[in-house]
Amino acid sequence: MTDLDQRINDILRERAEGPVDTGGLTVRAVAVGRRRRRRRRAVLGSGLAVLALLGGAAVGPGLPGVGRPFTAAGPSGSAGAVPALVRAAPGAATAPETIGIDPGVLHFGVDPAKVRYLGWGVAGGVETVQLDVGDGRTVTVDLANSSAALREHGVDLLPVSVGELATEAAFDGRTTQLSADGRPIQVRHWRPAPGVYARAVVPAATDTGLTVAAQALRLDEARRCGGPVRITRLPDGAGLAGCRVDVSRFPKLVTVRFNVTRPGDKWMSLSYQYAVEAGGPPRQGNTEIDGKPAHHYQLGDLDRLELLGFPKAHLVAEWGWPTEGFDQMDAAVLLGGARVADPTRPESWD
Amino acid sequence: MTFEEYVGSRGPALIRLARLLTGDEHRAEDLTQEVLARAYLRWRKIAGLDRPDVYVRRMLVNANASWWRRRSNQELATDTFADRPLPGRLDEAAVERDELWRLILGLPDRQRAVLVLRYYEDLDDSTIAQILDCSPVTVRTHAMRALAHLRERVGAPMTHGSRP
């Protein structure tokens, strides 16, 4: 073993150490897992209820293996959370060169009568939506204006890597079935419009969910990424590098995250987290942003600045080691320019 | 093996692996919790595999490799609003180790994962390849590139004793 080997060994052991609350980890993992299982069952249950109410066949032609719990009003009388329309921006079909360029805008949408948004985001030149297609499984759809962008962009939490499948020749509409320890995963690559590269992935035995998702795509519209949060100003020399919104448990939970960067791999984040069950007394600030109370604190080597005053929610800028390059003044600029709408009323997210 | 038994025996190791993959204790806990919650939903199948731990670690590595898993809090339990402390700042005597750690964190995801799985988890290339869903040759390529980068930056001599 060389000196470098030994030093790597030592630093990894040093950095990995620390107490672990194994009991708490188990409890939280089981609690979240059970919540998701209940939600899946609820989605399936509501789908079956609608089918029964409408006499099954009246819902629509559908596809083999997929129920159609979605009406125009959504599975439970609510349209769910939908990103706000951006009328001034083109859709992917007419301007494929704009896909993934502005992390604040998605250049496509989906038909909410066919699928339900679970989340969406833009990062690394790829625009992504996660969709519930009605069978409880999550279909992830990625759009880019090149096959290379999709090769570099993986799909979250899959036990296999699908990026390398995205060769130029692969975008012909075929579905590829992968297997991860005996579990099937369906991956489809296609070009829904000239210059537009699409990939859809679902962990399932059939590709029916991919077909539903593909048919639900709307490439003639653009939507704003930030959900209830709009960023109106950035620190000097900084740019928006990514945006991510999770509405999978809307209206109880809504999370938004923006990534802000400067040249040289320096970054900071702005996160918004709304939880209907969050409570507690109003927190005291120790500083101000544009006359509004804020709280600055350190979390290990990270700095956090929270703009106070959002019921059941936190709006926090985070910066610091290991990717330095931003400071409290930058965080105040970012937070001071953030506009937050009612997280439970998507119609107010314009 | 029940899910609770698995987390009881392997949970701490998963957290430690996540700390090295993310470089951030807070995110490491979120990441591990997210992966375990997903594993819980399909535990019957995972437990029936020959090496369930390889499968879960693959989930962990892939989850970390995703940009928005690293930089977003997709799972937001209300009790996660509580802040958790990170290790304190390094003192002056540890500047060199600090520099090496920063360099490791700056490596591309898969190169860093190979180093962590090889040096910290002490896994062979074949198992690492299973976790990363690539070939052992690719594992060795990632390792060589990572080590070359580190040698160049920390000024270590180009000795040839390192595992390629």
CATH at residue B107: 1.10.10.10
Q: What percent of chain A has pLDDT over 70?
A: 81
User: A197: which 2 tokens?
Assistant: 């590269």
Are residues A187 and A126 both part of a single domain?
Answer: yes
- pLDDT tens digits, one per residue of A162-203: 877 899 999 999 999 987 656 788 999 999 999 999 999 998
**Locus of tokens 């188990």:** A26
ipTM rounded to 2 decimals: 0.81
Q: A336 lies in a domain?
A: yes
B153 and A CB contact within 8 Å: no
Interface of A with B in 52-111 (CB under 8 A): none
Are residues A215 and A253 both part of a single domain?
Answer: no
Side chain identity at residue B74, one-letter code: Q
Are residues A68 and A135 both part of a single domain?
Answer: yes
Q: A253 lies in a domain?
A: yes
Q: B75 lies in a domain?
A: no
Return d(Cα A251, Cα A273) in angstroms, integer: 12
Q: B79 lies in a domain?
A: no
Global pTM exceeds 0.90 = no
State yes or no: cis peptide before A251, omega within 30 of 0.
yes
Q: A273 lies in a domain?
A: yes
Residue range(s) defining the domain that contains residue A68: 43-224
Return d(Cα A198, Cα A328) in angstroms, integer: 40
Q: B20 lies in a domain?
A: yes
Residue range(s) defining the domain that contains residue B124: 91-164
Are residues B64 and B95 both part of a single domain?
Answer: no
**CATH label of the domain that carries residue A317:** 3.30.200
**CATH label of the domain that carries residue B33:** 1.10.1740
Query: pLDDT band for position B17 (50/70/90)?
Result: very high
Are residues A231 and A335 both part of a single domain?
Answer: yes
Are residues B64 and B97 both part of a single domain?
Answer: no
Neighbours of A43 (CB within 10 A): 20
Are residues B63 and B97 both part of a single domain?
Answer: no
Query: Is residue A45 over pLDDT 50?
Result: no
Are residues A218 and A241 both part of a single domain?
Answer: no
User: Is residue A268 within 8 Å of A331, Cβ to Cβ?
Assistant: yes
Interface of A with B in 235-254 (CB under 8 A): 242, 244, 246, 253
Are residues A191 and A113 both part of a single domain?
Answer: yes
Are residues A88 and A234 both part of a single domain?
Answer: no
Query: Is residue A158 over pLDDT 70?
Result: no
User: Is residue A346 within 8 Å of A81, Cβ to Cβ?
Assistant: yes
Query: pLDDT band for position B66 (50/70/90)?
Result: low
Which residues of chain A neighbour B133 with C-beta distances below 8 Å?
Answer: 159-161, 180
Write down the H helix ranges in chain B. 3-22, 25-41, 43-47, 52-65, 67-70, 95-105, 109-115, 125-132, 136-154
Are residues A205 and A280 both part of a single domain?
Answer: no
Q: B58 lies in a domain?
A: yes
Query: Is residue A284 over pLDDT 90?
Result: no
Q: B104 lies in a domain?
A: yes
Query: Is residue A222 over pLDDT 90?
Result: yes
Are residues A75 and A204 both part of a single domain?
Answer: yes
Interface of B with A in 96-135 (CB under 8 A): 97, 100-102, 104-106, 115-116, 119-120, 132-134
Interchain proximity B72–A271, CB inside 8 Å = yes
Q: What percent of chain A has pLDDT over 90?
A: 52
A142 and B CB contact within 8 Å: no
Which residues of chain A neighbour B71 with C-beta distances below 8 Å?
Answer: 242, 244, 257, 259, 269
Return d(Cα A238, Cα A326) in angstroms, integer: 9
Are residues B65 and B98 both part of a single domain?
Answer: no
Query: pLDDT band for position A53 (50/70/90)?
Result: very low
Are residues B95 and B151 both part of a single domain?
Answer: yes
Q: A38 lies in a domain?
A: no
Residue-level pLDDT at A21: 80
User: A209: which 2 tokens?
Assistant: 């969910």
Are residues B151 and B106 both part of a single domain?
Answer: yes
Query: Of residues A334 and A273, which shows the higher confidence score?
Result: A334
Q: A286 lies in a domain?
A: yes
Are residues B100 and B52 both part of a single domain?
Answer: no
Domain count, chain A: 2
Are residues A219 and A236 both part of a single domain?
Answer: no
User: A1: which 2 tokens?
Assistant: 């073993």
Residue-level pLDDT at A136: 79
Domain stops at, among A192, A224, A256: A224
A280 class by beta-carbon count within 10 Å (0-12 exposed, 13-18 middle, 19+ buried): exposed
Query: Is residue A94 over pLDDT 80?
Result: yes
Domain stops at, among A205, A224, A243: A224
Residue-level pLDDT at A168: 93
Average pLDDT, chain A: 83
Domain stops at, among A167, A195, A224: A224
Domain count, chain B: 2
| Averaged pLDDT, B50-73 | 70
A145 and B CB contact within 8 Å: no
B67 and A CB contact within 8 Å: yes
| Averaged pLDDT, A23-51 | 63
Are residues A214 and A237 both part of a single domain?
Answer: no
Are residues B105 and B162 both part of a single domain?
Answer: yes
Q: A271 lies in a domain?
A: yes
Q: B135 lies in a domain?
A: yes
Are residues A191 and A74 both part of a single domain?
Answer: yes
Are residues B62 and B4 both part of a single domain?
Answer: yes
Q: B78 lies in a domain?
A: no
Q: B37 lies in a domain?
A: yes
